[in-house]
Structure 1
Amino acid sequence: MNANFDSALSAAHAAAANQNHPAGTLYVVATPIGNLADISLRALHVLSLCDTLACEDTRHSQTLLRAYGIDKSASHWLAVHQHNEAEAAEEVIRRLQAGQRVAYVSDAGTPAVSDPGARLAWQVQSAGLRVMPLPGASSVTALLSACGTPAHDSSGFVFVGFLPSKATERGHAVEVLAQEPRTQVLLEAPHRIEALATALGVLGERPVTVGRELTKQFEEIATVAAQDLAAWLQGNAQRTRGEFALVVHAQAQERAAGSDNDRLLKILMQELPLKTAVKVAAEISGEAKNALYDRALELKANT
């Protein structure tokens, strides 16, 4: 046990022992993304109570639990990761039907958010069994809470997660991302962060907040223009290390509207004469004809 947590289990049992934690239930347990102190008292109680601990990496999770003074024998552990999730879910269901309490943890953070666990939870619920979430640390909400939002952004956010690793597919994904005016949250590994930064450069001046090593000793949060993100990473060798969460901030209202009008004009001009396309676009969008006509000429000249 880590000496800093020698009283944590006692506090956890005192806080949660009288709460209802039914048998035959899958407990989806969030664990720290870096700072061990971010574990919840309820999570500690359930992790010590459970009959089976299903996890993404048994060695990693054993080390984590031992830091809190929880030591499970080999029979308590079950590996459930992205390569065996469907098959392992059948074993989890069998144990739940036998009346066991099963806790599932991923390597860090909240399971099933760009981590294994989603298929497991789905199959357990489909079998008519209960899934109970134990909320906690998440890099997504951690970064969103710290990066703030500009005044024009009131539309919420879209969770994207990891973009494809192959360059061509990643480029197509960024093209789709560029058309989304709302705030978007991405995740990335250290060995791909520079490639992602280069790909996001096409977003120009659109602000991006990057969170590196969130909750850890060398945590860093910075907001830069998308076109400057690659240079920001290169400005310090340490900045390409660690796990990353990124927020692509919402487009300004006027820029988003302009992008929508461009798409509308392009579609109409493929089927109609320019003046007719402008007239129809003005009726649909409510924009002034003169401004749309000037923009249509620019678009035509660039095709």
Structure 2
Amino acid sequence: MIVQRSFSGSQENGAGTLYLVGTPIGNLEDMTFRAIRTLKEVDLIAAEDTRQTRKLLTHFEIATRLVSYHEHNKAASGPELIRMLESGQSIALVSDAGLPAISDPGADLAAEAASHGIKVVPIPGANAALSALIVSGLPTERFLFVGFPPRDRKPLRDWLEKLRRQEGAVICYESPYRLAKTLAAMLEVWGDRRIAMVRELTKRYEEVARGTLSECMAWLEEHPPIGEYCLVVEGITSGGHAEDDEDTQWWLPLSLAEHVDRYEAELGDRKEAMKKAATDRGLSKRDVYNELMRK
């Protein structure tokens, strides 16, 4: 067992401190006085993107040595940073924006430092996920951050199925290029829940679109997505909607083909069956047709 007392003076093992420093997610005025002071006082700053961080350091007149630490070089640079910390140097870790160690390789360095008995100290700052949650208009007492959804349809559906019974709000990030497909998959698996689509947080074009999944999908057809999005979707019990009830979505255990076959058996009309299945799942009739043709 290791107990860390962050401000108890120098460590017995003579090691330095790893500071996890939050940086602005858009608006430079969100940089804290403590963050600026820490970045000036440490021996080294490890950054996910040195070019991006260099702009930040220049703006605040910070001359501390800067090195690169990211997903593609962490296997080599991580051990070297640990060696420097063990030798008594203090290092600040920053990500491109927001808090490091959340959906980025900084988590590995923080865990490794902690396992070596090195102090790991947070310097709080802006965070996109929590900022989106508090403006979403959805219940905030319970939530789950899940990073980026899988890109491919089958892994995405499986991922959504695992989260379907989540009671609190589900928060994730998504790119503008995959946003529409992700929303359609959410509607198909979760039903028409309330959602907040938040983009460009703290920047000039900050926007929060609140509504149901189907309403947001319709909105995007008229207003193509621009910029990175943070999605906040209500949990299964937070709204008490009938859409989340198993009886309402009887088709959830069925494949798309089985769903269409069930309606065709009831209606005796293949086209009408495809239309109703498309409506249930939040898909277009063309999407349903193309999916069935691939089988």
> Above 0.5 in TM-score?
yes
User: What per-residue deviation string (whole Å, max 9, x for no partner) do you get for residues 151-206 of structure 1?
Assistant: xx75x111111111222211221222223232111111222222222222223321
What is the rounded CA distance, in whole Å, between the counterparts of 1:235 and 1:253 in structure 2? 29
What is the rounded CA distance, in whole Å, between the counterparts of 1:199 and 1:144 in structure 2? 21
Q: CA deviation at 1:21?
A: 8.4
The one-letter code matched in structure 1 to 2:199 is R
Q: Where do residues 118-137 of structure 1 align in structure 2 (5 Å cutoff)? A: 118-137=107-126
2:232 corresponds, among 242, 247, 250, to 247
Counterpart residue number, 2:155: 169
Q: CA deviation at 1:260?
A: 9.8
What is the rounded CA distance, in whole Å, between the counterparts of 1:124 and 1:216 in structure 2? 34
Is 1:36 the equivalent of 2:1? no
**Which structure: greater helix fraction?**
1
Query: For 2:20, what is the secondary structure of its paired residue?
Result: strand
RMSD: 2.5
What is the rounded CA distance, in whole Å, between the counterparts of 1:121 and 1:162 in structure 2? 21
What is the rounded CA distance, in whole Å, between the counterparts of 2:205 and 2:246 in structure 1? 38
Query: For 2:113, what is the secondary structure of its paired residue?
Result: helix
Counterpart residue number, 1:145: 134
The one-letter code matched in structure 2 to 1:158 is L
Is 1:96 the equivalent of 2:85? yes
User: What per-residue deviation string (whole Å, max 9, x for no partner) do you get for residues 93-141 of structure 1?
Assistant: 1111221110000000111111221111000011111100001100011
2:100 corresponds, among 103, 107, 111, to 111
The one-letter code matched in structure 1 to 2:24 is P
The one-letter code matched in structure 1 to 2:40 is S
Is 1:218 the equivalent of 2:210? no
Name whichever of 209-218 and 188-197 sits farther off: 188-197
Q: CA deviation at 1:221?
A: 0.5
What is the rounded CA distance, in whole Å, between the counterparts of 2:165 and 2:216 in structure 1? 19
1:21/1:162 CA distance change after superposition, 3 Å = farther
Counterpart residue number, 1:58: 50
TM-score (norm 1): 0.72
**Could you tell me whether the CA contact under 8 Å between 1:186 and 1:247 is conserved in 2?**
yes
What is the rounded CA distance, in whole Å, between the counterparts of 1:128 and 1:180 in structure 2? 35
Q: Where do residues 79-90 of structure 1 align in structure 2 (5 Å cutoff)? A: 79-90=68-79
**Could you tell me whether the CA contact under 8 Å between 1:28 and 1:134 is conserved in 2?**
yes
Counterpart residue number, 1:180: 166
User: What per-residue deviation string (whole Å, max 9, x for no partner) do you get for residues 222-279 of structure 1?
Assistant: 1121123222222223xx111111111123347598449999xx9xxxxxxxxxxxxx
**Could you tell me whether the CA contact under 8 Å between 1:164 and 1:173 is conserved in 2?**
yes
Is 1:200 the equivalent of 2:198? no
Query: For 2:101, what is the secondary structure of its paired residue?
Result: coil
What is the rounded CA distance, in whole Å, between the counterparts of 1:107 and 1:36 in structure 2? 13
Give the % identical residues. 38
**Could you tell me whether the CA contact under 8 Å between 1:86 and 1:120 is conserved in 2?**
no
**Could you tell me whether the CA contact under 8 Å between 2:21 and 2:99 is conserved in 1?**
yes
Counterpart residue number, 2:283: none
Q: Where do residues 1-80 of structure 1 align in structure 2 (5 Å cutoff)? A: 24-72=16-64, 76-80=65-69
**Could you tell me whether the CA contact under 8 Å between 1:201 and 1:228 is conserved in 2?**
no
Counterpart residue number, 2:177: 191
**Could you tell me whether the CA contact under 8 Å between 2:191 and 2:244 is conserved in 1?**
no
What is the rounded CA distance, in whole Å, between the counterparts of 1:191 and 1:50 in structure 2? 39
In the alignment of these two chains, the number of paired residues is 238
1:20/1:109 CA distance change after superposition, 3 Å = farther
1:260/1:25 CA distance change after superposition, 3 Å = farther
What is the rounded CA distance, in whole Å, between the counterparts of 2:75 and 2:112 in structure 1? 8
1:97/1:260 CA distance change after superposition, 3 Å = farther
List alignment gaps of at least 5 residues for structure 2.
1-6, 254-295
What is the rounded CA distance, in whole Å, between the counterparts of 1:241 and 1:262 in structure 2? 32
1:159 corresponds, among 142, 145, 159, to 145
1:163/1:258 CA distance change after superposition, 3 Å = same
The one-letter code matched in structure 2 to 1:211 is V
